A = this chain, B = another copy of it.
């Protein structure tokens, strides 16, 4: 294995371990020693990639949006929907994503960590998909993409928190399905509605399709 490839793997192993520890203990109670023990790397390897707990937390936060990647869809509104279901599904077992989401909603992160970054990054990503949806005639004329995607991001953050608190996120797919059931009629042109999939298990199917590729 080339040196560079090994470095990338080590970095990812550290990020995954950090996600797991941040998810379990929160920012304040996490130490770099806990992370290097979980990642099974040396202190030297950890410090080579991340100089501080702040830098590590920032890197975990910066990974969040790309963990929402889904296969492209002809219907761009379906692709927006798929991202919400994919993130909901991955929150069940992806430690890096879980830790990153916990850091986002954690009010105790220090000034050195931009823990609200994902609240700005998700809308940037989603609004471009919504603009594509608009260009393809999928949206009602009343839709304002920026308002809609910020609503989606905020609502998702709270729904996953509530689902985590009540059922350890077991019912998150169902809750996201209910969210879409309520807001889709305000977004999609009526002719599109029958073909849009917002079933609770959408996330499992979208994710399985990506693994199979």
Contact = CB atoms under 8 A, between A and B. Distances in A.
A107 interface: yes
Interface in A34-61: none
B161 A157 contact: yes
A119 B159 contact: no
Nearest to A181: B186
Q: How many copies does the complex hold?
A: 2
Mostly, the A contact residues are helix
A67 to B, nearest CB: 18
Interface stretch (A6-14, A71-79, A130-138, A144-152): A144-152
A181 to B, nearest CB: 7
A178 B146 CA distance: 11
Interface in A106-122: 106-108, 115-116, 119-120
A194 to B, nearest CB: 15
